[in-house]
Structure 1
Amino acid sequence: MTTERTLGRFGRTGIWSSALKTEDPERQGEIADAAAELDDLGYGTIWIGGSPGVAHAAPLLEATSRITVATGILSIWQHTAADVAAQRAGLERAHPGRFALGLGVSHGHLSERYGRPYSAMKEYLSALDAAPEPVPAEGRVLAALGPKMLELSRVRAAGAHPYLVTVEHTAKAREVLGDHALLAPELKVVLDPDPDSARRTARDYLGFYLPMPNYTNNLVRLGFTEGDFRDGGSDRLIDAVFATGDADAIAERAGAYLAAGADHLAIQVVTGDPTRDLPRDAWRRLAAALPLSD
């Protein structure tokens, strides 16, 4: 679908984790070791979750030698385009071709400045273009869900990094993006062969996202209803937006996203505390089962 150069940069499979972002100096060594292992395992990209800044990528790049490091995603309300462009240029000089800038409009309850998200993103991209050291379109991806933002991802960025989406959304996104833009959805997985236990873990985590209209509006477009959003999510919703089971079952589900048009999957292993846990054993087991490169 995408160019070989773009796909080669991201690989087929990456790891998405907000636990790889920290302000705690006591955790930095542990995180650096985890990043180095992800590099050694052959994953294509580390996606830093938890609304990171560009600076959060620096220690991960320094701890690794090959893997791409991406923000997944940087909120345009929290960082000025001028600062982002300058910081990105510094990373590019230190680690050429290994940083990808993931941008998003976040959510209304997380920023007092939130408003006109589509127009604000267009203006932000123009500011990145006009910076003294511009961020090229091929160096950035957008957290796009709806058709307008997906189209913007196609014409003003390397492609899209949708979060909390289904296989069906992936197919629809590919239609909007065409054959040459990157489509790199995030996929939450629970590595647990017990369906009831896996759904409990998934439901505990999904409940955090269900009050956010950006996600629920997108899910409604896909055919879900208000009833699916109650009590942490219906079984139907959980099964649509999570992959659960053993490593082979996860790989089979990942294959469905790839068959629907995804070029790359950003795998988020959901645990009891995914904002702090570094599930390295799970990452190892999945590395043996998932396609890591084309």
Structure 2
Amino acid sequence: MDDASALKEAVGRYGVWSVGLRDEDPQGAAERAEAAAELESLGFGALWLGGNSSAANAAPLIEATERIVVGTSIQSIWEHEAPASAAGFAELEVAHPGRFVLGLGVSHGPRVKEYSRPYSTMVGYLDELDRAGLRPGHRVLAALGPKMLELSRDRAAGAIPYLVTPEHTARARETLGDAPLLAPELKVVLDPEPATARATARAYLARYLEFPNYVRNFLRLGFTESEVADGGSDRLIDAVFAWGDRGRIRDRVAAFHEAGADHVALQLIEGNPPNPLPRQGWRELAALLA
């Protein structure tokens, strides 16, 4: 079995995307470990660590579990040197084979002081990883546009697009072909009331609409300038969030699989500010997916 196929089998159809699980506060370490173990018992195949995460964030969660895959979503190539990234991967791979996947991304111009030529910089970073011995099959890329998706196909095990729609997923699958992993992130609001569910979603989405790469991607997908303003239109909210009762959410997740996703990384959004470890919500999510 090749690396991409093995990764698909390991992560399964559903995972959890979380910033809270990558927190470095030592006082919360025991709860994060307990939450990771529970998510494994609930049947999720992968934990995707949001923010600028690394192997160091993944290690305690891997040690607290038995089989679940832990990936970075993403590790910024601007803030982690490639040789150190390869070394961190190698250390975990020796101790826990097949349990860690390095998810890489170029982050956002407004967040990076010396942001320049993101595609070329990513190519150079992958070259360095190759020289350090980290195989393409052990890394995935946060790809939105066509060129980065092609790079995910040719130089990685696949793509982990963030803040996308089923239409983007279909285009990504066409670019990637059948073999690479395609694991989009999808935000979930467990609220059946349209007004309050969309309000929760809109408050969370607003921060992302400040980043040009997400806005450009929405425009490529056919949304208008007005639809990506003021927190996003209802059409945009409904495209990038799964909200509603169990049936509606289940159908929305299924739409990503039907469009070509192998795996969907589910980010549960609860209130503003979000709950960093929404454990009861994760239980409800596991139940509706079952």
TM-score range, shorter chain: over 0.9
Alignment of 1:160-175 (within 5 A): 160-175=159-174
* 8 Å CA contact retained: 2:4, 2:157: no
Aligned to 1:74: 75
Alignment of 1:34-53 (within 5 A): 34-53=35-54
Aligned to 2:234: 235
Alignment of 1:27-176 (within 5 A): 27-131=28-132, 134-176=133-175
Q: Distance in 2 between matches of 1:130 and 1:277?
A: 37
Q: Distance in 1 between matches of 2:157 and 2:283?
A: 29
Aligned to 1:201: 200
Q: Distance in 2 between matches of 1:18 and 1:73?
A: 10
The code of the aligned residue for 1:253 comes to: R
Gaps of 5+ in 1: none
The code of the aligned residue for 2:14 comes to: T
Q: Distance in 1 between matches of 2:6 and 2:59?
A: 23
Q: For 1:203, what is the secondary structure of its paired residue?
A: helix
In structure 2, do the counterparts of structure 1 residues 139 and 24 end up closer, same or farther at CA, with 3 Å as the change threshold? same
Q: Distance in 1 between matches of 2:273 and 2:198?
A: 15
The code of the aligned residue for 2:67 comes to: R
Give 1:7 deviation, angstroms: 1.5
Q: Distance in 2 between matches of 1:115 and 1:265?
A: 30
The code of the aligned residue for 2:270 comes to: T
Give 1:247 deviation, angstroms: 2.6
TM-score (norm 2): 0.96
* 8 Å CA contact retained: 1:247, 1:285: no
* 8 Å CA contact retained: 1:15, 1:266: yes
* 8 Å CA contact retained: 2:19, 2:276: no
Give 1:273 deviation, angstroms: 4.6
The code of the aligned residue for 1:99 comes to: F
Q: Distance in 2 between matches of 1:143 and 1:3?
A: 16
The code of the aligned residue for 1:207 comes to: A
* 8 Å CA contact retained: 1:75, 1:106: yes
Q: Distance in 1 between matches of 2:274 and 2:179?
A: 33
The code of the aligned residue for 1:93 comes to: V
The code of the aligned residue for 2:240 comes to: V
Aligned to 2:6: 5
Aligned to 1:272: 271
Q: For 2:48, what is the secondary structure of its paired residue?
A: strand
Q: For 1:37, what is the secondary structure of its paired residue?
A: helix
Q: Distance in 2 between matches of 1:5 and 1:24?
A: 33
Give 1:277 deviation, angstroms: 2.2
Number of residues paired by the alignment?
288
Misfit runs of 4+, over 3 Å: 273-276
Q: Distance in 1 between matches of 2:136 and 2:123?
A: 12
TM-score (norm 1): 0.95
Q: For 1:238, what is the secondary structure of its paired residue?
A: helix
* 8 Å CA contact retained: 1:18, 1:276: no
Q: Distance in 1 between matches of 2:30 and 2:161?
A: 30
Aligned to 2:27: 26
* 8 Å CA contact retained: 2:206, 2:230: yes
Aligned to 2:246: 247
Q: For 1:155, what is the secondary structure of its paired residue?
A: helix
Aligned to 2:283: 284
> % of aligned pairs identical?
60
Q: For 1:14, what is the secondary structure of its paired residue?
A: strand
What is the aligned-residue RMSD (CA, Å)?
1.3
Q: For 1:289, what is the secondary structure of its paired residue?
A: helix
Give 1:289 deviation, angstroms: 2.2
Q: Distance in 2 between matches of 1:55 and 1:247?
A: 35
For residues 76-99 of structure 1, the C-alpha deviation after alignment (integer angstroms, 9 at most, x for no partner) is: 000000100001100111111100
Q: Distance in 2 between matches of 1:196 and 1:3?
A: 41
Q: Distance in 2 between matches of 1:109 and 1:275?
A: 23
In structure 2, do the counterparts of structure 1 residues 178 and 289 end up closer, same or farther at CA, with 3 Å as the change threshold? same
Give 1:275 deviation, angstroms: 5.7
Q: Distance in 2 between matches of 1:261 and 1:277?
A: 29
* 8 Å CA contact retained: 2:203, 2:272: no
The code of the aligned residue for 1:117 comes to: P
